[in-house]
Structure 1
Amino acid sequence: MLDPQITTVLFDLDGTLLPMELEKFTNTYFGLLAKKAAPFGFQPEPLVAAVWKGTKAMVKNDGTETNDKRFWDTFAGEMGEEVLQLRPVFDGFYANEFHGAKAACEENPLARRAIDGLKAKGYDVILATNPIFPLVGVETRLSWVGLRPEDFSYITAYENSTTCKPNLAYYAEILRKTGKRPQECLMVGNDATEDTAALEQGIGVYLVTDCLLNPKGRDISGLPQGTFAAFLEFAGV
């Protein structure tokens, strides 16, 4: 049962609402992106390396500029300024060809039940996915589990965020922009590093174990945890 103080549930997307094996998904995603970029003269290896460098730049972002600016400045620094003219092509990729990466993910028929059930009980629901993708890419991934951006009161994407998980400032930014207090929020995620960082902002955490990520071997024994189905029971929906 949720703590009576809780008014708002923050959900991670990849590995939580959307079950996936991260490496398989990443490899599929990059393969599709390389295919899309090939007609424009980009070779797969330097393209993927530049995307990774841009992603790392976003993860290190310190709140001084949006993640999308940090990504594109870094990406253009690797690939050349002319790549900035192709941003609409990349946005088109996330709306279209990116759907091919659904094959690397699993179904979650309980995702809709979780969101609708919580909202029916009066909870506010936020999508706290690591903001390293454009909103269109978030929308595409949500569609794979039958959800839409309108299902959430707030979504973090690279256009509206200036930090990333596991930076504590990421959670502070959500609280500031939504007017929430930490004690009224619960973070539901599958990453024992990125999602449990919310604890240091005073936000409670429930770890979903279906696709649990704990590369640092952290002791998570004291945290509420279980399968996604178990979370529904925990939340009473």
Structure 2
Amino acid sequence: MSDVAPRAGAGRRLFWPALLSLIGVAILCTLGVWQIARMSEKRVFIDRLSAQAAGAPAAMPAASGWAALDPAALDLTRVTAQGSFIDGPVAGVRTTIAAGGPGTRQLSGFGRWIFQGFRLADGGVVLINRGFVPESRLGEIKPASGPATVTGFLRTPEGRGSFTPSDLPAQREFYTRDPTAIAASLGLGPAAPFYLEAERQGDGLTPPAGVNAKELIARIPDNHLSYALTWFGLAATLIGVFAAFAWQGRGASDGSGS
């Protein structure tokens, strides 16, 4: 009987730590499994982009069907648009481009994405992100004009964060790539609910420098495996902490009953 009471007391002391540890391990493992699933989705997405970059671009969606489209589903679809640049001013979206790795040829630093209206052959208007211009070279940029064929990637509107500065539409200066707001500042009327990010033409060092498909793909973060291992590692650590706690409690109980 002398051993039963200490063991029962130890069991009661371990109940809540065991329950909380079990819940914690379940949550951490769920997060790890979710990151593994996200990794698989991300790699399918990257493979799709790589295949698109290597193949022929799709046709631009017809303006008559834009209202029924899901911009998120179109994001980073490579297309070719035929039409003419709309005469008038351009708008700038402030940004910072990090210097590229070894072997890359790109403009970097503080600057702006240059946006201009483009009227498609079917009459629809879409905003073209012509590319990046460093702040010190903005004076070199003039509006494009005349007929053109633009190949690039459809992009969804950029979200606004809690600390994003307010746009200055009267100065055609923005802090997010929001095609609706930019189109309104340029007096373009209704425009596509997405924008077209032009592919790079030339050496990448002449502004405005469009996006390079390979560099775009390389910039897509794929850290899900490291996140998953972190969550699983935390779950294993929690198990180890509980095991040490239980072993220490068992030793204390054995000592009290001697």
Which has more radius of gyration? 2
Is the pair's TM-score, using the shorter chain for normalization, greater than 0.5?
A: no
User: Which structure is higher in helix share?
Assistant: 1
Q: TM-score range by the shorter chain?
A: under 0.3
TM-score when scaled to structure 1? Answer: 0.24
TM-score when scaled to structure 2? Answer: 0.23
